[in-house]
Structure formats: C-alpha cells, structure tokens
C-alpha cells in the first residue's frame, strides 16, 4: 500500500513538472505568435538611410587612409592599433570594415569610440544581428539571450548609429571600396544584395556570372575571383586570415580568436602597408564559418 502511495506521489510530481514545462513553452510560443510590434516600430527598418557612401577627394586630400579589420569588441587592441599606426591624428581617415561589435569583451566601449571620433565604418553582419536583437528587445515579452544582454543597454542613439552604417564606402581617389564581406563581380553596387555584402565568403560560377555563398565549402574565395577595377578592402573571413590579392585585401585576422587585429594603411604617396597588433587573449575558442 505504502509503495503504491509513493509511486503515486512520484507520478504526480513528474506529471506536474511536465505540465509546468509545457505551459511555459506554450505561453512563450503564444507571446511570440500574437506579438504585434508597436506602430512606430514597424516603420523602423534595419537598413541604413544611405546604403553606399562616397568619400570624395575633398575628404581624403593630403591624408593617409587606415582601414581596420573586424574588432568584435576588442577595444584595447583597437586603441593599440590606432596608436601604432598613429591614426588618431587629423591627417588620417580611419575606416572600419564592419563587425566592430559583438562576441568580444567591450562592444559598448567600441561603439562609444566610433560615435565620438571622426571615423567611418561599414555595417557588418554582427551590427545587423545587434540591431535585430535591439528591435526585438523593444517587445516587453522578449528575453535577450545571454550573449546579447549588453544590447539591452543600448540607447536609441547608439542603435541609430549602428542602423545608419552604410554597406559600402567608396574612395574614388584611391579606386577603393570598403565592404564587410564581399561583392559579386560584374554587378553595380546598387544591385548588390544587402545580405550578401554582409555575409558572403565564396562565389560559385553560373551560366550568367557568379552567385554568392555564405559558407566557404562551395566555390572559391570571392576575392580570388574579383578582378577590379576597384580594389576592395573587406573583413568577415577570420578563417582565411590576411588575404592579399591584386584587387582585394581581407583584413579579418581573428583578433577575437587570439590572432591579430590588422589594418591597411595607405600612405600619402598611396604606399600600402599592413599594420597589426597581437590579440591580448583568445576571447572565443574557434572561428565558426
């Protein structure tokens, strides 16, 4: 008899645990299903006001240009690199090639620096992820996951800064375009896909040109297929580290993963120089593709 009572109690307990779990799961799903963003929120898109920016001769005349690869919140290394290249003076135009934030230790500090310095930056897939989470977190029922808790502290102005980062920055004087991930050859900038400019790594040849691929398992590195006429400076591809092609330079040398933070410095005589600093530690174990 006693055994039966015990078994009954165990069954009751197990049953109530399962029911509690199912209820919480159902309520989360229902919140997601029935949630309608506030009217004003609907009008906000993650796209910037201007997708492609041109820095003309008047901006770069007589100045050096310093492109910086994926910082990913590695604020200390970023400052060290800027000092090493003496890039904080007025005679240098600094351009970040995207993924300045997320995954690493000091994303807020990096955003603060970007907003209050006279530097330029393009939007990477991680800026886009941050904006997605920021927008989601405007819903009171939405819970930010552990890795995005820092996004909950962003101000509207900080989010707006990230939102308005362009996908490309062109420097006709140098015949250079900066983009986070890559460009599909033979396609004008206005016809490049926003998503592909932030995520592509490879190209697959098709009957009428190329198709972009996010994963590097199919096709060839896009930069190997890029024949100009512009030189493209990009990031995003930590696995391939420094990429030096005639018409493309890949600057993601995996600072986040214990590699380097790397920049490309164009001297006043248009001489190109790679400048890098060692990462202080491995903040994330392996580079995921």
Q: Please report, as ranges, the residues that interact with Mn ion according to CB under 5 A.
A: 99, 124-125, 236
266 CB neighbour count, 10 Å cutoff: 23
Smallest gap from residue 124 Cβ to Mn ion (A) = 5
Q: Which of 63, 60, 158 is nearest to 101 (CA)?
A: 158
Pick 16 or 286: Cβ nearer Mn ion: 286
* DSSP-derived secondary structure for 242-257: SEE-SSEEE----TTB
Smallest gap from residue 235 Cβ to Mn ion (A) = 6
* Residue 176 DSSP one-character state: E
Smallest gap from residue 237 Cβ to Mn ion (A) = 8
Contacts 24+ apart (CB under 8 A), 82-89: 84/275, 84/277, 85/263, 85/265, 85/275, 87/263, 87/265, 88/117
Smallest gap from residue 181 Cβ to Mn ion (A) = 6
Pick 187 or 214: Cβ nearer Mn ion: 214
Pick 125 or 243: Cβ nearer Mn ion: 125
Pick 113 or 195: Cβ nearer Mn ion: 195
Pick 127 or 225: Cβ nearer Mn ion: 127
**Using an 8 Å Cβ cutoff, are 60 and 93 in contact?**
yes
Smallest gap from residue 198 Cβ to Mn ion (A) = 7
Cα 5 off chain centre by: 59
CB-based closest residue to Mn ion: 236
């Amino acid at each position: 008899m006693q055994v039966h009572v015990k078994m009954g109690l165990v069954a009751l307990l197990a049953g109530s645990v399962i029911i509690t779990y199912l209820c919480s799961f159902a309520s989360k799903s229902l919140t997601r299903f029935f949630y309608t963003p506030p009217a004003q929120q609907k009008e906000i898109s993650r796209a910037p006001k201007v997708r492609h920016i041109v820095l003309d001769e008047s901006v770069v005349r007589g100045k050096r240009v310093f492109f910086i690869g994926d910082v990913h919140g590695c604020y200390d290394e970023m400052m060290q690199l800027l000092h090493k290249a003496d890039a904080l003076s007025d005679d240098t135009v600094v351009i970040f090639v995207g993924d300045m934030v997320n995954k690493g230790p000091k994303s807020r500090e990096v955003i603060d620096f970007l907003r209050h310095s006279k530097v330029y930056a393009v939007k990477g897939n991680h800026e886009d992820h941050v904006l997605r989470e920021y927008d989601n977190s405007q819903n009171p029922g939405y819970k930010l996951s552990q890795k995005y808790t820092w996004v909950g502290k962003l101000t509207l102005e900080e989010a707006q800064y990230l939102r308005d980062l362009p996908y490309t920055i062109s420097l006709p004087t140098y015949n250079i375009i900066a983009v986070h991930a890559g460009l599909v050859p033979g396609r004008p900038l206005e016809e490049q896909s926003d998503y592909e400019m932030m995520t592509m790594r490879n190209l697959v040849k098709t009957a009428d040109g190329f198709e972009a691929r996010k994963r590097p398992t199919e096709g060839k590195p896009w930069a190997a297929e890029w024949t100009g006429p512009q030189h493209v400076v990009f990031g995003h591809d930590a696995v391939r580290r420094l990429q030096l092609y005639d018409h493309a330079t890949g600057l993601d040398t995996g600072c986040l993963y214990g590699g380097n933070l790397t920049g490309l410095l164009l001297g006043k005589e248009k001489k190109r120089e790679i400048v890098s600093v060692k990462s202080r530690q491995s903040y994330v174990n392996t580079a995921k593709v």
